[in-house]
Amino acid sequence: MTKHRNHNHEHAADACCSASNMNIASQRRPVHEKNESVSSGVQTLIRIMQMDCPTEEALLRKKLDGMAAVTGMEFNLMQRVLTVTHAPQATKSILEAVRSLGFTPEIVDGEHEEPKQEPVKPWWPLALACLAAIGSELVHWLEFPVVVAAALALIAVLMCGISTYKKGWIAIRNGNLNINALMSIAVTGALVLGQWPEAAMVMVLFTIAELIEAKSLDRARNAIRDLMQLTPETATVLQKNGVWQEVPAKSVSVNERVRIKPGERIALDGTIVSGHSSVNQAPITGESLPIDKQSGDPVFAGTINTSGSFEYQVTAAAGDSTLARIIHAVEAAQSTKAPTQRFVDKFARIYTPTVFAFALAIAILPPLLMDGEWFNWIYKALVLLVIACPCALVISTPVTIVSGLAAAARMGILVKGGVYLEQGRKLEWLALDKTGTITHGKPAQTDFFTLNGWNERDVRSLAASLAVRSDHPVSIALTNAAKLEGIELRNVENFEALPGRGSKGVIDAKLYHLGNHRLIHEQGRCSDDLEARLSTLEAQGKTVIMLTDEQSVHGVFAVADTVKESSYQAITELHALGIKTIMLTGDNVHTARAIANQVGIDEAHGDLLPEDKLKAIESLLGKAVTVGMVGDGINDAPALAISDIGFAMGATGTGTAIETADVALMDDDLRKLPRFVRLSRNTHSILVQNIVLALGIKSIFLTLTVLGMGTMWMAVFADAGASLLVIGNGLRLLRVNN
Ligand SMILES: Nc1ncnc2c1ncn2[C@@H]1O[C@H](COP(=O)(O)OP(=O)(O)OP(=O)(O)O)[C@@H](O)[C@H]1O
Ligand SMILES: [Cu+]
C-alpha cells in the first residue's frame, strides 16, 4: 500500500510539473498585456520604414506630443517601430499626423511579424547624378562657360536630391533641423553662391553616404532576427490518421507529437516521449557541447539534434517557444534607452541648435562688424551646417548597445535592457546563492546515525515519510536513499513545510519534525555532544537534518551536494575582474564556509532566511557599491529584485526567469557571469570610443572650417565617415569573443 502511494506521488509530481509549465505559458500573455492596461488608452505599434536617423524621432515626437489623445511614445529606431499609447478612437488621426510628416506608417499586428521589404529604389538616378556631378566638376576645372557647370550641377541635385529637399522642407515647416533640412539649406546656399560643382558633389556624396549607412544599420538590426531564423519552417507531425506529415511549424499546436531525424533542427519546444539522442543547444545556451536527452527531457526550438532520433510532445506553440521569448525580450530591451543613449540624445538636442546659431553668427557678424567678405563667411556657415548634424553621435550608442545585446544572446545570456549591459562593468560585489547555483542542487545522502538507541529502519522510515512530501533538494536526497533501500513509508497527517527549517507532520498520532540545526536549536533539543558530531559533518560541507519527536533528536542525516566544475573557474575569473564574491545561503554557516572554500568565494553567510538574504544585499547596497545577485529566481526573488543586477540561472527550465530577472542565464554555467562583465566592459569602451570619434571628427572640422580650410564636400565626407566608423565599431561587438 505504501509502495502504491509512493508511485502515485511520482505521478502527481509529473503532472504538477507539466501543469506549472502550462501555467507559465498561459501567464505570459497577461504579463504582456499589462503594459496596455497600466497606461491609459491602447497601444498601437506603427512601423515607419523611413524612421532611420534619430532626428526623425524628434520630428515625430514633437508632432505627436501636440496631440491630446496621445499619452505615451516609445521609439525603437533599430526596428523602426513606434509604439504609441493613445485614446482608442485616435488611431486614424495619429496615422494622419505621421503621414503629414512625409512618412508611410504601417500598423504592426503580430509581434514577430517580419517587416515588409523596403521597395528597392532604382539605382540609375543616383548613377546619373554622380556622373553629372563629376561632369560639373570637370567642366568647371577646364574653365568651360559657367552655364555648362551650372546645368550639370542642377541635373545632379535634381536627380538625387529631391527626396532630401522634400524631407528637409517638412522638417523645417515643423520647426525641426534634421539632417535633411541642414543639407537642403547647405546645398541651396552653395547654389546661390554659385558654387555649382560643390553643391552637386555634396548632394551626391550625402545620398551615397545615407545609402551605405542604412545598409550597415540593417546589419545591426538583423543580428537579432538572425537568431530567429534558426528555427525550421516545418516539422514532421503525427496526424490523427496515424500518418507522419510535414506541416508548417506555425500550425502545430500544443500536445501534438513531432518526430526528429538525426541532424535535424528542432522546430518547437517539447518534451521527449520516445527515443534518445544528444542535442546541441548552443542557439539557446551558447554552450555547444551536446547534451544527452532521453524520454522526459525538454527540447527547445532552434537547437540541433545530433545523431539519434526521437519523438517529442509539443509544449508551446511556435510563437511561444523559449527562443521566441528570448528574441522578444532582446527586442524589448533595445527599445528601453540605456543611460549613455539618454545622455547622447540630450546632448544632440542642444548640439544642433548651438552649431546652427553659431553658423548664423559666422555668416552675419564678421561681414557686418569686421568688414569680412560676405561670400567667404556665408560659405563657412554652410560648411558648419553640414557639421551640425548629430547623426554619427546619436546613432553610435544604439548600434553599440544592440550589438552588445545580440552578442550576449548568442552566448546564452539574456540581458533585459541596455541599462544592465552598461552597469555590468561596474559590479563590485556579486552575491550567489549556494544550492543549485554554485552546487548542482542534487544532493545525495552520505551519513546516517540514530541516537537514543532507536531502530535504524524505524527512524529512516519516519524521516522518509516526511521527506517524500517535500520537494526541497535535501528532502529529495533522503527520499532517494530510502527508496534505494526499500524503506517503507508511513502515512503522514497534518504535514507542514517550515521554510528555512524543514517540515513536520503527525505519524501514528505522534508529532515528528524533520529539520536543520536551526530548528533543533529553536526547540531547545541541541546538546554539546550532538553539536560536536554535527560540526564534523558540517565542516565537510555536508548539510545535516535531524528527526525529532516531541522529546529529543533520534536520527541524524547528512547529505552532500557536489560543486559544479564550472563554478570554481567562474569565481576565479570574477576575482580576476576585480569582483568580490559572497555566498548567501539558507544552509548552516559551517557548510556554507566549506563549500565557499571549495570554489574560492570571498565571504560565506549561512543560516539565512529569504528576508535575511534581502538584508544582506541591502547592507551591501548601503555601502554604495554596485551589487549583483545570482539565484534560481524562485526563493531568491526579493533579493534578486533589489540588487542592481539580478541574474537568474537556468532560464530554460523555469520560463518565469526570462520575464523576471534583469539578466537571465540560459543554462546554469556560472562562467557566463564573467563573460557578461567582460562584454559589458567591451561595450562601454566601444561606447566611449564612438562618442570620442564622433565628437572628435566634428570638432576637427569645426576648427578647420573657422580657419577657412574646410570645404563643404570634406564636411559631408567627414560626417558620413564618422557615421560609418561608429556603426562599424559598434558592430565589432558581435564578433569580439568575450
Ligand atoms: N523541506 C525541507 N526538507 C529538508 N530540509 C529543509 C527543508 N526546508 C528547509 N530545510 C533545511 O533548511 C535549510 C535552509 O533551507 P533554504 O531553502 O532556506 O535554503 P537552501 O535552498 O537549502 O539553500 P540556498 O539558500 O543556498 O538555496 C536547508 O539547507 C535544509 O537544511
Ligand atoms: Cu546546536
Does one domain contain both 526 and 550? Answer: yes
**β pairing state of 627-631 and 429-433:** parallel
Does one domain contain both 155 and 298? Answer: no
Residue 590 lies in a domain: no
Residue 20's pLDDT is what?
Answer: 32
Q: For this structure, is 433 an active site residue?
A: yes
CATH code of the domain covering residue 287: 2.70.150.10
Q: Is the pLDDT of residue 22 over 80?
A: no
* Residue 327 backbone dihedrals phi, psi, to 5 degrees: -60, -40
**Burial of 148: CB neighbours in 10 Å, binned 0-12, 13-18, 19+:** middle
Give me ligand 1 centre to Cα 664, in Å. 23
Residue 144's pLDDT is what?
Answer: 82
Give me ligand 2 centre to Cα 501, in Å. 13
Residue 153 lies in a domain: yes
CATH code of the domain covering residue 94: 3.30.70.100
724 — pLDDT class (breaks 50, 70, 90): confident
How far is the C-alpha of 356 from the C-alpha of 353, rounded, in Å? 5
Q: Output 80 or 291, whichever has higher pLDDT.
A: 291
Q: Is the pLDDT of residue 393 over 50?
A: yes
658 — pLDDT class (breaks 50, 70, 90): low
pTM of the model: 0.82
Q: Which residue among 320, 340, 370 closes a domain? A: 320
Residue 283 lies in a domain: yes
Our mutation pick for probing the ligand 1 site, out of 466, 516, 543, counting the most ligand atoms within 8 A of Cβ, is 516
Q: Which residue among 84, 115, 146 closes a domain? A: 115
Q: Is the pLDDT of residue 458 over 90?
A: yes
How far is the C-alpha of 593 from the C-alpha of 225, rounded, in Å? 45
Joined grid coordinates for residue 202? 555634396
Give me ligand 1 centre to Cα 263, in Å. 42
In this predicted model, what pLDDT tens digit does every residue of 47-102 receive, in sequence order?
887 776 666 777 888 888 888 888 888 777 777 788 888 888 888 888 888 888 88
Give me ligand 1 centre to Cα 42, in Å. 45
**Local structure of 329: helix, strand or coil:** helix
Residue 24's CB is within 10 A of a number of other CB atoms, namely 18
How far is the C-alpha of 671 from the C-alpha of 571, rounded, in Å? 8
Residue 73 lies in a domain: yes
Joined grid coordinates for residue 372? 569680412
Does one domain contain both 278 and 358? Answer: no
CA dihedral 327, 329, 331, 337 (to 10 degrees): -160
Does one domain contain both 218 and 337? Answer: yes
Q: Which ligand is nearest to the CA of 631?
A: 1
**β pairing state of 510-515 and 627-631:** unpaired
Does one domain contain both 257 and 271? Answer: yes
How far is the C-alpha of 549 from the C-alpha of 506, rounded, in Å? 10
Our mutation pick for probing the ligand 1 site, out of 501, 512, 611, counting the most ligand atoms within 8 A of Cβ, is 501
Does one domain contain both 141 and 181? Answer: yes
CATH code of the domain covering residue 461: 3.40.1110.10
Residue 616 lies in a domain: no
Q: Are 552 and 525 in contact (CB under 8 A)?
A: yes
Does one domain contain both 554 and 460? Answer: yes
Does one domain contain both 531 and 543? Answer: yes
In this predicted model, what pLDDT tens digit does every residue of 544-573 receive, in sequence order?
999 999 989 999 999 999 998 899 999 999
Residue 713 lies in a domain: yes
Q: Is the pLDDT of residue 7 over 50?
A: no
Q: Are 317 and 254 in contact (CB under 8 A)?
A: yes
Residue 366's pLDDT is what?
Answer: 85
Catalytic residue among 52, 269, 433, 632, which?
433
* Total tally of structural domains belonging to the chain: 5
How far is the C-alpha of 481 from the C-alpha of 484, rounded, in Å? 5
For the segment 539-546, the average pLDDT, to the nearest whole number, is: 92
**Residue 291: which of 648, 674, 673, 667 has the closest Cα?**
667
- The residue assigned the cell 572628435 is 696
- The residue assigned the cell 545615407 is 210
Q: Is the pLDDT of residue 718 over 80?
A: yes
Which residue has its alpha carbon closest to ligand 1 atom 2?
502
List residues near ligand 1 (CB under 6 A).
433-435, 470, 472, 474-475, 497, 500-503, 516, 543, 545, 585-587
Residue 477 lies in a domain: yes
Q: Which residue among 560, 588, 603 closes a domain? A: 560
Q: Is the pLDDT of residue 642 over 80?
A: yes
Does one domain contain both 454 and 544? Answer: yes
271 — pLDDT class (breaks 50, 70, 90): very high
Residue 196 lies in a domain: yes
12 — pLDDT class (breaks 50, 70, 90): very low
Joined grid coordinates for residue 643? 540588487
Q: Are 628 and 427 in contact (CB under 8 A)?
A: yes
**Local structure of 390: helix, strand or coil:** coil
Does one domain contain both 512 and 392? Answer: no
Q: Is the pLDDT of residue 215 over 60?
A: yes
Q: Are 613 and 638 in contact (CB under 8 A)?
A: yes
Does one domain contain both 454 and 552? Answer: yes
Q: Is the pLDDT of residue 736 over 90?
A: no
Which residue has its alpha carbon closest to ligand 1 atom 5?
502
Domain of residue 545: give its range.
444-560
Q: What is the DSSP letter of 229?
A: T
Cβ-based neighbours of 639, under 8 Å, separated by 6 or more: 431, 584, 610, 613, 614, 616, 617, 629, 631, 646
Q: Is the pLDDT of residue 32 over 60?
A: no
Longest Cα–Cα distance of the chain, Å, equals: 118
Q: Is the pLDDT of residue 454 over 80?
A: yes
Q: Is the pLDDT of residue 652 over 80?
A: no
Give me ligand 2 centre to Cα 524, in Å. 9
For the segment 473-488, the average pLDDT, to the nearest whole number, is: 93
Q: Which ligand is nearest to the CA of 524?
A: 2
For the segment 427-435, the average pLDDT, to the nearest whole number, is: 92
Q: Is the pLDDT of residue 441 over 80?
A: yes
Does one domain contain both 530 and 478? Answer: yes
